[in-house]
Amino acid sequence: MNTTNQPHGGAADDTGSLLMQADHLTRDFSVRAGLFQPKKTLHAVNGVSLTLSRGDVLGIVGESGCGKSTLARLLLGLLPPSSGRITLGGIDLRELDRKAVARRVQPVFQDPYSSLNPRRGIATIVALPLEVHGLGDGAERRRQAIAMLDRVGLPARYADHTPGQLSGGQRQRVAIARALVMHPEIVICDEPTSALDVSVQAQILNLLMDLRRELGLTYIFISHNLAVVEHIATRVAVMYLGQVVEETDTASLFRSPRHPYTQALLKSVLTPEPGLGVPDTGLGLAFPDPLNPPSGCPFHPRCPQRLAHCDSVAPVLTHSQQGAVACHLATIAVEPEPVAAAG
């Protein structure tokens, strides 16, 4: 285990205790496929179970249509699940007051341009959670907001700037300050650096890691960028068409991925190493359509290692000491060969 990823021992040093748990979460949406078509059900999240321990950085990776953003909103309490439950510190989210949840779980969103109200000064934006919870008076809230902004690298002179006057990286810092101003336990980051330049991304990632150490935070880090996830996450869950297909600690996932989709994803990571060319992911032309999920294993139309029964029997996420994986191949008792990380 990487010792650099452990937060400093502090007052709340129950590192490793269970903080949040999701059991068989589903979330459906009713969608009209065309103008005169009948309504269809979109299973955006289709049976996801996760655990989050204090001090973790749980990376959730997947491509478009996998349901990771919907999952983020479910875990934030912004959307009610269609079935299944989420518990926070052992208590069901639905039984908790929305404000109580807000004090413990906060988001950082992807788009720095739409995650801040363009009509407010950034100190006001950062103070919003405090205002909503009635903590302190106006002056005190402003003071706390400015202190948090300073902590994320925006000095006091920016306090009354509007978001339109800031760059993408600065806006993302404001979003982080807003998420942290109430000192939550869990921060759910939904692609926080995907819209930023590489050099700015590095700054934000460093900031997130520093703050995690200083404040003893636990992160859920959603991203499609596997290199970033490998760098920052302690555990990784891979999602495909609304389900978790593999989940284990970061080192194991990247050293020996077990699910064919994970293997393809890792092959697709283009590291800046010249001379290696572009690897063949072996996936073919089929593309995932969340509205018409395949029968059996959702990945089988694209799977290069498909077995005969993969199109009729859906695999179940099975846990073992190597981690969790939802694949029929894994039930065959042969340990697959470790795959080199950068194809």
Partner 1 sequence: MSTAQTVAPRTGDVVLDVQHLSVDIATPAGPLHAVRDVSFQVRRGETLCIVGESGCGKSITSLALMSLLPRAATRRAGRLTLMGEDLAAASARRVNALRGDRMAMIFQEPMTALNPAYTIGDQLMETLKHHRGATPAQASERAIELLGKVGIASAGERLSQYPHQLSGGLRQRVMIAMALMCEPELLIADEPSTALDVTIQAQILRLLADLQKELGIAMMLITHDLGVVARIAHRVAVMYAGEVVEEGTAEQLFASPRHPYTRGLLSCIPVPGRTAPGGRLGTIAGTVPSLIGEVRGCSFRERCPHAQPQCERTIPMREVAQHGWRCILDELPA
Partner 2 sequence: MGPLPQAASELPVLLPAARGWWPRIWRNKAVTVGGGLLLLMVLIALLAPWLSPHDPYAQDLTQRTVPPVWYEAGSWLHPMGTDPLGRDYLSRLFYGARISLLIGLSVALISGLIGTTMGMLAGYFGGKADLIVSFLVTVRLSMPVILVALATVALIGGSLWVVIMVLGLLKWDRFAVVMRSATQQVRSLDYVAAAQAAGASTKRVLLGEVLPNVLPHLIVVATLEAASAILLEAALSFLGLGVQPPLPSWGLMISEAKVYMFFSFWLIAIPGSALALLIFAINLTGDGLRDLLAPEGRA
Q: Note the residues at the interface with partner 2 (CB under 8 A).
A: 73, 76-78, 98-99, 101-103, 105-107, 109-111, 113-120, 125, 128-129, 132-133, 151-155, 162, 164-170, 173, 175, 178, 182, 200, 203, 206-207, 210-211, 213-214
Q: Which stretch binds partner 1 (CB under 8 A): 94-102, 279-287, 314-322, 330-338?
A: 279-287
**Residue 287 near partner 1 by CB under 8 A:** yes
233-251 b/e (C-beta count within 10 Å ≥ 16 → b): bbbbbbbbbbbbbbbbbbe
- Considering only residues 13 to 32 of the shown chain, the ones binding partner 1 according to CB under 8 A are none
Q: Which does 153 bind (CB under 5 to 8 A by kind): partner 1, partner 2, none?
A: partner 2
**Residue 252 near partner 1 by CB under 8 A:** no
CB 256 → partner 1: shortest distance, Å?
Answer: 13
**Residue 53 near partner 1 by CB under 8 A:** no
Q: Check: CB of residue 108 under 8 Å from CB of residue 172.
A: yes
Distance (Å, rounded) from C-alpha 236 to C-alpha 20?
A: 15
**Residue 90 near partner 1 by CB under 8 A:** no
Q: Which does 151 bind (CB under 5 to 8 A by kind): partner 1, partner 2, none?
A: partner 2
Residue type, 67: G
Q: Which does 228 bind (CB under 5 to 8 A by kind): partner 1, partner 2, none?
A: partner 1
Nearest to 172 by CA among 248, 250, 101, 114: 114
Which string of DSSP letters, residue by residue, matches 191-228?
STTTTS-HHHHHHHHHHHHHHHHHHT-EEEEEES-HHH
**Residue 331 near partner 1 by CB under 8 A:** no
Smaller CB distance to partner 2: residue 13 or 210?
A: 210
Smaller CB distance to partner 2: residue 116 or 297?
A: 116
**Residue 231 near partner 1 by CB under 8 A:** yes
**Residue 227 near partner 1 by CB under 8 A:** yes
Which string of DSSP letters, residue by residue, matches 144-202?
HHHHHHHHTT--GGGTT--GGGS-HHHHHHHHHHHHHTT--SEEEEESTTTTS-HHHHH
CB neighbours (10 Å) of residue 124?
Answer: 18
| Count of alpha carbons within 13 angstroms of residue 239, beta-carbon side | 30
Q: Are strands 105-108 and 186-190 parallel, antiparallel or unpaired?
A: parallel
**Residue 268 near partner 1 by CB under 8 A:** yes
Judged by the rule CB under 8 A, the positions of this chain that interact with partner 1 are 2, 4-5, 63-64, 167, 197-199, 201-203, 205-206, 209, 224-228, 230-232, 250-251, 254, 264-265, 267-281, 283, 285, 287, 289, 341-343
